[in-house]
Amino acid sequence: MPANGVMVVDKPAGWTSHDVVARMRRLVGERSIGHLGTLDPMATGVLPLVLGRMTRLSQFYRASEKAYEGTIRLGLATDTYDCDGYPVGEPQEVKVTLEEVAAVASVFRGLISQTPPPFSAKKVKGVPAYKLARKKQEVELQPVEVEVKEFAILGLDGDLVEFRSRVSSGTYLRSLAHELGQKLGVGAHLASLRRTAVAEFTLEQSHTLEQVAEAVGQGRLEELLVHPRRVLPEIPSVTADDEAVGKIRHGRSLNLPEMSRSKFVKVFAGQAELICIASRVAGTLFHPKVVLL
């Protein structure tokens, strides 16, 4: 039976996001699987996967807010801006206070211009930057505007800074750590990172790959999927009758009088089967934009 749904995986350290997708494909026997936002190999935490027909919802998550918690080690910069890289320059003595770190961190809140790390998936003339960086070729990445909604410094233990952050899509926490070290004058790199949320998906909903494997073996994979009614909560829902389902199946528009103020509508057949995302054409007339039948 095809696997269709959204599953939140707690990505383990040392795995790429692609590794997790490949493992999930083998576990559930479904080729059509994607993820909603790459996590670096050293990072752990929330990696939402879309399975089967639900991969068609990926377009609604391209600008999703993300939340993290982690640590930054002061006193040493690395070429990757994280603990997987090689040191850049000599280690620096760290003599900063929690108040000083918090004051510098406040500079990064709001809309900022951020240069992605040289070891990143950002493309330079069609080639991922990390491939050029590994060949010791010069990488010139253009700054992009991102939004740091929260960058809270929670503690300082020696040279280790504990933080919590909420950021817009495309923000690199590695760059935040690197630039924090630059402004403090001691250098820094991201020591650990755990993603706690992507859009509406949280750690509380997540499952380890071991838990997924166990559920597959017991024939209860569906229990681990996010209930379709909890997907895209900002879009209102309607339950379609048989006539409306027939129209959607054939790509025809339908009239939804109670949804005249909405741009998009989630259309369900029964309580748990999401059959389409419809977009408003005019007035109360909606056209199937993404059909999941």
Q: How far apart are CA 204 and CA 135, in angstroms?
A: 40
Q: What is the mean pLDDT of the chain?
A: 91
Q: How far apart are CA 270 and CA 247, in angstroms?
A: 16
Q: What's the predicted TM-score (pTM) here?
A: 0.91
CATH code reported for the domain at 235-291: 2.30.130
Residue 128 has pLDDT above 50, yes or no: no
Q: Are 176 and 151 in contact (CB under 8 A)?
A: yes
66-198 matches 235-291 in fold: no
pLDDT tens digits along 40-88: 899 999 999 999 999 999 999 999 999 999 999 999 999 889 998 889 9
Q: How far apart are CA 238 and CA 217, in angstroms?
A: 35
The pLDDT value given to residue 123: 54
| Superfamily of the domain at 66-198 | Pseudouridine synthase (3.30.2350.10)
The pLDDT value given to residue 291: 95
pLDDT above 70 covers what percent of the chain?
92
Residue 138 has pLDDT above 80, yes or no: no
Across 126-146, average pLDDT = 62
Indicate the burial class of 241 (C-beta count within 10 angstroms; 0-12, 13-18, 19 or more).
exposed
Task: Say which range, 43-47, 119-123, 137-141, 247-251, has the weakest mean pLDDT.
Answer: 119-123
* Domain positions in the chain: 5-64+200-229, 66-198, 235-291
Across 246-274, average pLDDT = 92
pLDDT tens digits along 222-242: 999 999 999 999 999 999 999
Q: How far apart are CA 256 and CA 288, in angstroms?
A: 12
Residues involved in catalysis = 40
- Given the candidates 3.30.2350.10, 3.40.50.1980, 3.20.20.70, 3.30.565.10, the CATH classification of the domain at 5-64+200-229 is 3.30.2350.10
